[in-house]
């Protein structure tokens, strides 16, 4: 049996909606697993990413751990795909860039409604937030962008089919939207 | 005698004093544009209508048509340049389409779809301009403004009010409101003004009407801007 294409996926500052949209390809996932083998992804138990052909990233970069994971993916993947509005321009989470990080933390953990024993989490296990949320292409080189919040399953499927078959990547008008 | 020029090989008739854009629009040929609206004097700020006229890059909206000119618009190079311009507009503002009530009926977004922009690949500016919600019926999100000046021109030329102006220099250029407090609520702005209905993006928005149109039925959901036309063609007072 020929080696299958190795695919890894990750959610950084994402909502897992892009992964749900990937799963919205429904029964076509059976065709997909004929062609690909999943490495590290929220759908498998693999903790460390190995060498992969394709890495698909959902979510922007909002904390130190996101940066580490993203760089790991870039190191191990021949092709890196930025999937969804968040990884492309920060998305809804980047609306916090309107405020100082300090203001956000204080609102959530000190002055928010119903907060008891108010304190901002300070354990070294918790990754520190970055001052701003960033698109992933501001941290690593990105090879392909799949817009949408989330990208429709058909768009993701078209992309994977064309990528795996070596065809040029082209989308129909209604496959592309930013919302 | 009718004079002609060609756009991408198509013969287009024109009359005295018509621009390339005017003649193309009259002939039903779409040239991407954002700051142009035939109701108002063209100004050439968005540069999306840049076409090649006898070998030179010129804005179709401000360039007079000339006899026998050879105009190229739908070329790979010009479309790539338009995608770059669109990316610049996207990173300069906060264009969070998933959280914008203009999504699906926004000309910036529609032109970006038409030109095949998949992502704004530059470093994002994330401006922090405050929203002006002082008016009872309209709000302005200055982080979505693309400085097309259509509201400025509409308020000055159609409404005779001059509610809006552009001020500042360079990246600090921004839309301002002509009122003692600088707030829209303290200006002469009215919901029936032409200026209230010409914004091609989600900057000047009516309140209490967001997300009225179901997904799939919004202005640009089914057909591209080249077939649907401008946002302002579909706005009612």
The closest CB to that of A179, out of B104, B126, B128, belongs to B104
CA nearest to A99 within chain B? B128
pLDDT digits (tens, 9 = 90+) for B216-230: 999 999 999 999 999
Please determine, for residue B87, whether its predicted confidence score (pLDDT) is greater than 90. yes
Instruction: Verify whether the Cβ–Cβ distance B98 to A149 is below 8 Å.
Output: yes
Residue of A nearest to B98 (CA): A179
Beta bridge partners, B53, equal B56, B71
Which of B88, B97, B221 has the highest number of chain A CBs within 10 A, making it the mutation to test binding with A?
A: B97
| SS3 state of residue B26 | helix
Domain ranges of chain A: 5-94+132-170
B3-74 maps to which CATH number? Answer: 3.10.20.740
Of A30, A140, A11, A1, residue with least CA distance to A76: A140
Q: Is A121 left (phi over 0), alpha (psi -120 to 50) or beta?
A: beta
Asked whether residue B100 carries a pLDDT value surpassing 80, the answer given is: yes
CA torsion angle A111 A114 A119 A122 (round to 10): -110
Radius of gyration of chain A (CA): 18
Q: Are strands B50-53 and A61-63 parallel, antiparallel or unpaired?
A: unpaired
- Report pLDDT for A1: 47
Residue B2's pLDDT is what?
85
For chain B, say whether A130 makes contact (Cβ under 8 Å): no
Residue B80 has pLDDT above 50, yes or no: yes
Does residue B201 surpass a pLDDT of 60?
Answer: yes
Determine the Cα–Cα distance for residues A14 and A62; give it in Å rounded to an integer: 10
Structure tokens at A25: 């390809």
- Is B237 a residue whose pLDDT tops 90? no
pLDDT score of B156 more than 80: yes
Please state, as a whole number, how many other Cβ atoms lie within 10 Å of the Cβ of residue B115: 21
Over residues A77-123, the pLDDT tens digits come to 999 999 999 999 999 999 999 999 999 999 999 998 999 999 999 99
Question: For chain B, what percent of residues have pLDDT higher than 90?
Answer: 97
CB proximity A173 to B under 8 Å: yes
Range B174-191 average pLDDT: 97
The Cα B109–Cα B146 span in angstroms is: 12
Name, in order, each residue with C-beta under 8 angstroms of B200's C-beta and a sequence gap of 6 or more: B34, B106, B107, B108, B146, B148, B150, B230, B231, B232
CB burial of B130-156 (b: ≥16 within 10 Å; e: otherwise) equals eebebbeebbbbbbbbbbbbbbbbbbb
Counting other chains too, the contacts that B188-192 makes at CB distance below 8 Å and 24 or more residues apart are: B188/B161, B188/B163, B189/B135, B189/B138, B189/B155, B189/B161, B189/B163, B191/B137, B191/B138, B192/B237
pTM exceeds cut of 0.80: yes
Report the mean per-residue pLDDT for chain B: 96
Domain layout of chain B by residue ranges: 3-74, 83-231
Q: What's A5-94+132-170's CATH class?
A: alpha beta
Question: How far is residue B71's CA from residue B53's CA, in Å, rounded to a whole number?
Answer: 5
pLDDT at B236: 65
Fold of B83-231: Alpha-Beta Plaits (3.30.70)
ipTM of the complex: 0.95
Report residues of chain A scoring pLDDT below 50: 1
A41 touches chain B (CB under 8 A): no
Give chain B positions within 8 Å (CB) of A146.
Answer: 118
Provide the shortest C-alpha distance from residue A144 to chain B (in Å).
Answer: 9
- Does B100 contact A176 at a Cβ distance shorter than 8 Å? no
Q: Round to whole Å and give the CA distance between B2 and B13.
A: 7
pLDDT, average across residues B185-201: 97
- Do A143 and A87 touch, CB atoms closer than 8 A? no
């Amino acid at each position: 049996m020929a080696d299958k294409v190795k695919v890894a996926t990750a959610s950084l500052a994402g909502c897992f909606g892009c992964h749900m949209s990937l799963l919205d390809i429904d029964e076509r996932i059976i065709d997909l697993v004929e062609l690909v083998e999943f490495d590290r992804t929220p759908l498998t138990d693999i903790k460390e990413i190995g060498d992969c052909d394709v890495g698909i990233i959902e979510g922007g970069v909002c904390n130190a751990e996101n940066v580490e994971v993203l760089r790991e993916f870039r190191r191990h993947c021949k092709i890196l795909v930025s999937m969804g509005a968040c990884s492309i321009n920060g998305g809804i989470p980047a609306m916090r860039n309107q405020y100082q990080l300090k203001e956000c933390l204080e609102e959530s953990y000190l002055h928010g409604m119903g907060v008891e024993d108010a304190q901002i989490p300070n354990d070294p296990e918790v990754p520190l937030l970055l001052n701003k949320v960033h698109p992933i292409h501001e941290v690593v080189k990105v090879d392909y962008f799949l817009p949408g919040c989330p990208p429709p399953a058909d768009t993701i499927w078209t992309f994977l089919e064309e990528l795996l078959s070596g065809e040029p990547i082209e989308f129909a008008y209604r496959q592309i939207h930013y919302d | 005698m009718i004079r002609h020029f060609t756009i991408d090989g198509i013969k287009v008739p024109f009359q005295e004093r018509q621009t390339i854009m005017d003649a193309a629009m009259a002939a039903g040929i779409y040239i991407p544009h954002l700051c142009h609206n035939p109701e108002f004097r063209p100004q050439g700020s968005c540069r999306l209508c840049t076409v090649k006229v006898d070998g030179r890059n010129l804005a179709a909206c401000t360039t007079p048509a000339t006899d026998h000119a050879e105009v190229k618009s739908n070329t790979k190079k010009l479309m790539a340049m338009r995608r770059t311009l669109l990316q610049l507009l996207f990173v300069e503002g906060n264009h969070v389409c998933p959280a914008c009530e203009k999504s699906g009926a926004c000309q910036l977004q529609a032109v970006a779809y038409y030109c095949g922009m998949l992502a704004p690949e530059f470093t994002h500016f994330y401006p922090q301009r405050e929203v002006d919600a002082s008016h009872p019926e309209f709000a302005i999100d200055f982080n979505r403004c693309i400085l097309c000046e259509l509201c400025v021109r509409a308020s000055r030329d159609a409404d005779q009010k001059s509610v809006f102006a552009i001020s500042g220099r360079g990246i600090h250029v921004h839309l301002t409101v002509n009122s003692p407090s600088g707030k829209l609520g303290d200006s002469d702005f009215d919901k029936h003004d032409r200026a209230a209905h010409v914004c091609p993006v989600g900057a000047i928005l009516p309140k209490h009407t967001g997300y009225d149109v179901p997904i799939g039925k919004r202005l640009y959901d089914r057909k591209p801007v080249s077939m649907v036309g401008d946002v302002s063609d579909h706005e009612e007072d």
